[in-house]
Amino acid sequence: MTIQRLPADAPPLATVARIGDFVGQTVTLRGWLYNLRSSGKIAFPQLRDGTGVIQCVAGRKDLGDEAFEALIRLGQESSLVLRGEVRADPRAPGGYELKVSGLDILHAAVDYPIGPKEHGPDFLHNHRHLWLRSRRQQAIMHIRHLSVMAIRRYFDERGYLLLDSPIFTPNACEGTSTLFETEYFGRPAYLTQSGQLYQEAGATAFGKTYCFGPTFRAEKSGTRRHLTEFWMVEPEIAFADLEDIMDIAEDFLVFCTQFVLEHGRPWLVELERDLSKLEAVQKPFPRISYDDACVQLAALGEPVDPDDDFGSPHETVLTQQYDRPIMVYGYPTAVKAFYMKENPEKPSRVLGVDVLAPEGYGEVIGGGQREDSLDVLLHKIQEHKLPQEYFEWFLDLRRYGTVPHGGFGMGLERFVTWVCGIPHIRETIPFPRTITRLTP
Amino acid sequence: MTIQRLPADAPPLATVARIGDFVGQTVTLRGWLYNLRSSGKIAFPQLRDGTGVIQCVAGRKDLGDEAFEALIRLGQESSLVLRGEVRADPRAPGGYELKVSGLDILHAAVDYPIGPKEHGPDFLHNHRHLWLRSRRQQAIMHIRHLSVMAIRRYFDERGYLLLDSPIFTPNACEGTSTLFETEYFGRPAYLTQSGQLYQEAGATAFGKTYCFGPTFRAEKSGTRRHLTEFWMVEPEIAFADLEDIMDIAEDFLVFCTQFVLEHGRPWLVELERDLSKLEAVQKPFPRISYDDACVQLAALGEPVDPDDDFGSPHETVLTQQYDRPIMVYGYPTAVKAFYMKENPEKPSRVLGVDVLAPEGYGEVIGGGQREDSLDVLLHKIQEHKLPQEYFEWFLDLRRYGTVPHGGFGMGLERFVTWVCGIPHIRETIPFPRTITRLTP
């Protein structure tokens, strides 16, 4: 006997998501009690089965006193098996209801901690393992899953090889202050902050590669845009310059938003997302040089030091001027990583680009063209006081057939936060990790 | 100007993988010099572009003395752009060749370290960033990518929600001896060894979930089957018992092997894999109880203590009796994790299963039914001397609507090692991490 396959004499197993296929039939549904109203003669349990919630109708007469009494005494999230006839009913939420003819109670839950009343975010995050059962969190997790599918499909269908970058690295790519360290058989190892350097090896081996995995930053700022553990996708392309990278980033972001919009509409509606904002994510994205953006920001009353980086307030003001993502390129060389290629026509600016999401969501993509000259890179490593011996393998990529190349990184959770239109990034990952949170 | 889009007057850009679409046309190819033979008048460069290798023919007369001399002096892995006519030629490896009419040298590489001579594994792994350019490694990485696609597709198409388990965990699931530890803002955190416990929260929220991400074990044994960092997929299913889990594991493994066989045949041929071994991976897999396996092993001259676990030699001998994976279930309770459900009819055995690959590759999947009783689980946690306070959230899953459930985990690299038919697991991951290796 297996549980997935019901006994031969049981009504066929259905799911709430596919219940419309069973109208007029008697089926078996398994799940958890989401809600229950009852009078002395009739009860309206709502059953949650992981694929959706369905309203059910159970009469005392049909079930008998004993089963009916047991049912109406059940607490929220009790697990049960219901049998009954599926009826189309336009008044029911979802359009269908189950007329219950039989039930088995698997486990009677008592005092489920998350009730209909409002709970604070700390309480909910402390109960994340249960909070995931709520409709809103389910909608966000479905949008996350669809986003992952869109991202992978984009690259898989376009000839990129998936080349997972390692998590353990012997050295720090962009400074040690935000690194997590572990003891690795008697020496230190660091958790990756970016898989990019390894993807550069990938691009010269396979032409185009990507990695998509967890990334770690010991962010001491507990902002609503930061997690210590988040997922990042990083494509890298050989024979590409800044303009190519902007073309690809734009095409990619349009594909991903439209894919989620196409396949995730019910979840976005559940989240009360303004769909017109996502429908507007179409090519072309405005391409604005950093210097032009500074002029624009000054005129908007938010001046920037042209040799410093943008802050979040600048990003917010700037992106509010547009109905779609914008691409800001040519940031000051002084504030960017050592591997970014300088603009040969203006060495104080790099051939890098940030894609800023609209509605104040800010940077979702950062990337650009990489320095492909061995000599320049050696000089940069000295200038940034980085330990050259750790980068010898990376320098090899410039010693043996160097080519113009570039790529970008997109943080999955920032993308999902924006697409869902929610205020805080921590709801976009199943079990968020922040400076104050390591559990559950 | 972009690099991806060639100038308007250049021949169209082609790739080696799709070169058959361009027979009779003049195209542009970009890549790296894989090999070169030449006489005074004619040269046969092989160009590698990341999608494949093509043989080219370049005449001194066609190129002119200067370009021809420059070409034949180029070292392996020099980067270059070739223009020329595509010809079908059954004598050429791959069936096509390029008659070169023009070239641009991007970068002349000197003394590429990996030559045609034999190198030891340490040397090659030290040059992993370059070794990935070799045909054999490219074949393995393509099989890895196809395996990831198969795994994700299997679950995505069958209603499983992707629910990434966290990497940072506050506690040890299966003992601390193989855990990597990091300082997490003043307290210890551990890198995950398994996402299963979190998937159990997922299964009760969504019915069926999976995670697929990197996993860490501070393995002190440097065997050819162990990495310290590897990728694992872990589905978890509510309303499932051991037999369901065996059904799903079997169906999943057949799907993945046949998917790779269907889409990865050229790479498997490159690896000289015996395809008949993979074609034999079909249902049903023999299902053998642990106790029966012990009897069988004793008869084969490899006795096992029936209260101890199998070792690798036992797995090897046992699997050699079959042409396909086998499922061994009902292992001794004493050697298995606290969360495994005991067989109610024989408490000294758990409702767990290992799927053992043929040809001596051993365990690729481990899983089974989980303990769903709060009381039994509390008792087990005490028995295993685990800190109950860390597991309160996990116990909540038994407090609020517990249901029979189970799942399994499959190590990606073990699967790829077996499918590729190669002896050592470290070649199946782009940048392997072992007790002795943290670089490049």
pLDDT at B285 over 50: yes
Q: In one letter, which amino acid is A111?
A: D
Choose the most confident range, by mean pLDDT, from A222-226, A247-251, B9-13, B310-314: A247-251
φ/ψ (deg, to 5) at A132:
-60, -15
Model confidence at B239, pLDDT cuts 50, 70, 90, reads: very high
For chain B, positions 30-89, list CB contacts with chain A under 8 A.
30-33, 49-51, 77-79
Q: Which helix (H) or strand (E) holds A102?
A: strand A96-107
Of residues A151, A141, A357, A159, the one with CA closest to residue A252? A151
A215: exposed, middle or buried (C-beta count within 10 Å: 0-12, 13-18, 19+)?
A: buried
- Write down the pLDDT at residue A261: 98
Both tokens of B219, joined, read 């393995």
Do B240 and A4 make contact, defined as CB atoms within 8 angstroms?
yes
In chain B, DSSP finds a helix count (H) and a strand count (E) of 14, 18
Q: Which residues of B touch A250 (CB under 8 A)?
A: none
Q: In one letter, which amino acid is B346?
A: K
**Residue of chain B whose alpha carbon sits nearest to that of A13:** B239
Separation between Cα atoms, residue B299 and residue B302, nearest integer Å: 7
Judged by average pLDDT, the poorest of A145-154, B74-83, B109-118, B309-318 is B309-318
What residues does A411 pair with on adjacent strands?
A: A232
> B337-362 burial string, b = 16+ CB within 10 Å, else e?
bbbbbbbeeeeebbbbbbbbbbeebb
Do B50 and A394 make contact, defined as CB atoms within 8 angstroms?
no
Do B79 and A206 make contact, defined as CB atoms within 8 angstroms?
no
Q: Which residues of A touch B107 (CB under 8 A)?
A: 401-403
- Non-local CB neighbours of B307 within 8 Å, separated by 6+ positions: B332, B334, B335, B348
Percent of chain B exceeding pLDDT 70 equals 98
Percent of chain A exceeding pLDDT 70 equals 97
Q: Where are the beta strands (DSSP E) in A118-257?
A: 161-162, 168-169, 181-184, 187-191, 208-216, 229-238
Q: Does A406 touch chain B (CB under 8 A)?
A: no
Q: What is the DSSP string of A351-362?
A: SEEEEEETTTTE
Of residues B292, B349, B364, the one with CA closest to residue B321? B292
* Residues A327-343: tens digit of each pLDDT: 999 999 999 999 999 99
Within 10 A of A221 (CB to CB), how many other CB atoms are there? 9
- Non-local CB neighbours of B417 within 8 Å, separated by 6+ positions: B225, B361, B424, B425, B428
Q: At CA A35, angle to CA A33 and CA A41, rounded to 5?
A: 95
Average pLDDT in chain B: 94
Separation between Cα atoms, residue A380 and residue A198, nearest integer Å: 19
Q: How far is B178 from chain A (nearest CA, A)?
A: 11
Model confidence at A10, pLDDT cuts 50, 70, 90, reads: confident
Separation between Cα atoms, residue B181 and residue B194, nearest integer Å: 15
Q: Which residues of A touch B207 (CB under 8 A)?
A: 15, 31, 49-51
Q: Which residues of A touch B186 (CB under 8 A)?
A: none
- Write down the pLDDT at residue A93: 85
Q: Does A182 touch chain B (CB under 8 A)?
A: yes
**Residue of chain A whose alpha carbon sits nearest to that of B109:** A400
Handedness of CA A255, A256, A258, A260 (dihedral sign): positive
Do B396 and A129 make contact, defined as CB atoms within 8 angstroms?
yes
Q: Which residues of B touch A170 (CB under 8 A)?
A: 438-439
pLDDT at A1 over 60: no
ipTM: 0.97
Model confidence at B196, pLDDT cuts 50, 70, 90, reads: very high
Of residues A415, A354, A406, the one with CA closest to residue A232? A415
pLDDT at B6 over 90: no
Separation between Cα atoms, residue A128 and residue B8, nearest integer Å: 56
Q: Which residues of B touch A233 (CB under 8 A)?
A: none
Both tokens of B266, joined, read 């050229």
**Nearest residue, CB atoms, A400 vs list B130, B159, B185:** B130
**Nearest residue, CB atoms, A2 vs list B17, B132, B241:** B241
For chain B, positions 141-170, list CB contacts with chain A under 8 A.
141-142, 144-145, 148-149, 152, 156, 159, 161-170
Of residues B242, B274, B252, B250, the one with CA closest to residue B261? B274
Q: C-alpha distances in angstroms, A369 versus A196, A239, B15, B25?
A: 12, 10, 22, 31
pLDDT at B8 over 50: yes
What residues does B236 pair with on adjacent strands?
A: B209, B407
Separation between Cα atoms, residue A130 and residue A139, nearest integer Å: 15
Separation between Cα atoms, residue A210 and residue A229, nearest integer Å: 19
Handedness of CA B113, B116, B117, B121 (dihedral sign): positive
Q: In one letter, which amino acid is B216?
A: F
Evaluate whether B218 touches B179 at the Cβ level (below 8 Å).
yes
* Residues B268-282: tens digit of each pLDDT: 999 999 999 999 999
Region A173-195: mean pLDDT is 88
Total residues belonging to chain A: 440
Q: How far is B164 from chain A (nearest CA, A)?
A: 6
pLDDT at A2 over 60: no
**Nearest residue, CB atoms, A431 vs list B79, B112, B198:** B198
**Nearest residue, CB atoms, B182 vs list A106, A181, A238:** A181
Do B166 and A433 make contact, defined as CB atoms within 8 angstroms?
yes
Mutate to test the interface with B, among A3, A110, A395, A428 (most CBs of B within 10 A): A3
φ/ψ (deg, to 5) at A121:
-60, -35
pTM for the model stands at 0.97
Q: What is the DSSP string of A60-77?
A: HHHH-HHHHHHHHTPPTT
What residues does B117 pair with on adjacent strands?
A: none
Region A182-199: mean pLDDT is 95
Within 10 A of B277 (CB to CB), how many other CB atoms are there? 17
* Residues A272-312: tens digit of each pLDDT: 999 999 999 999 999 999 999 999 999 999 998 878 888 88
Q: Does B136 touch chain A (CB under 8 A)?
A: no
For chain B, positions 209-248, list CB contacts with chain A under 8 A.
213-214, 216, 218, 220, 228-229, 231, 237-241, 243-244, 247-248
Region A214-242: mean pLDDT is 93
Separation between Cα atoms, residue A321 and residue A408, nearest integer Å: 24
Q: In one letter, which amino acid is A144?
A: R
pLDDT at A167 over 50: yes
Q: Does A104 touch chain B (CB under 8 A)?
A: no
A387: exposed, middle or buried (C-beta count within 10 Å: 0-12, 13-18, 19+)?
A: exposed
pLDDT at B358 over 80: yes
For chain A, percent helix, then strand, then coil, each to nearest 5?
35, 30, 40
Please name the residue that has the structure tokens 């200067």.
B66
Q: Which residues of B touch A426 (CB under 8 A)?
A: none
Separation between Cα atoms, residue A364 and residue A358, nearest integer Å: 10
* Residues B419-437: tens digit of each pLDDT: 999 999 999 999 999 999 9
What SS3 class is residue B219?
Answer: coil
pLDDT at B174 over 70: no
What SS3 class is residue B38?
Answer: strand
Handedness of CA A194, A197, A203, A205 (dihedral sign): negative
Q: Which residues of A touch B244 (CB under 8 A)?
A: 2-5
φ/ψ (deg, to 5) at B22:
-120, 20
Q: How far is A314 from chain B (nearest CA, A)?
A: 29
**Residue of chain B whose alpha carbon sits nearest to that of A201:** B129
Evaluate whether A280 touches A323 at the Cβ level (below 8 Å).
yes
Separation between Cα atoms, residue B401 and residue A166, nearest integer Å: 39
Average pLDDT in chain A: 94
Total residues belonging to chain B: 440
Of residues A212, A273, A210, the one with CA closest to residue A417? A273
Mutate to test the interface with A, among B163, B193, B431, B435 (most CBs of A within 10 A): B431
Separation between Cα atoms, residue B127 and residue B141, nearest integer Å: 16
Evaluate whether A129 touches A117 at the Cβ level (below 8 Å).
no
Evaluate whether A222 touches A436 at the Cβ level (below 8 Å).
yes
- Write down the pLDDT at residue B307: 81
In eight-state DSSP terms, residue A286 is: P
- Write down the pLDDT at residue A176: 67
**Residue of chain B whose alpha carbon sits nearest to that of A1:** B243
Q: Which residues of B touch A198 (CB under 8 A)?
A: 129, 430-431
Do A50 and B182 make contact, defined as CB atoms within 8 angstroms?
no
Evaluate whether B146 touches B268 at the Cβ level (below 8 Å).
no
Do A239 and B4 make contact, defined as CB atoms within 8 angstroms?
yes
Counting one residue from chain A and one from chain B, the pairs whose CB atoms sit within 8 A come to 278
Judging by DSSP bridges, how do beta strands B181-184 and B287-289 pair with one another?
Answer: unpaired
Q: What is the DSSP string of B244-286?
A: HHHHHHHHHHHHHHHHHHHH-HHHHHHTT--HHHHHT--SPPP
Asked if the peptide bond before residue A284 counts as cis, ω within 30 degrees of 0, the response is yes
φ/ψ (deg, to 5) at A297:
-65, -40
Both tokens of B339, joined, read 């969360």
Region A237-250: mean pLDDT is 98
**Nearest residue, CB atoms, A244 vs list B4, B137, B189:** B4
**Nearest residue, CB atoms, A159 vs list B51, B137, B237:** B51
pLDDT at A221 over 80: no
Both tokens of B21, joined, read 């679409």
Mutate to test the interface with B, among A1, A106, A431 (most CBs of B within 10 A): A431
Region A161-167: mean pLDDT is 98
Do A401 and B241 make contact, defined as CB atoms within 8 angstroms?
no
Within 10 A of B269 (CB to CB), how many other CB atoms are there? 11
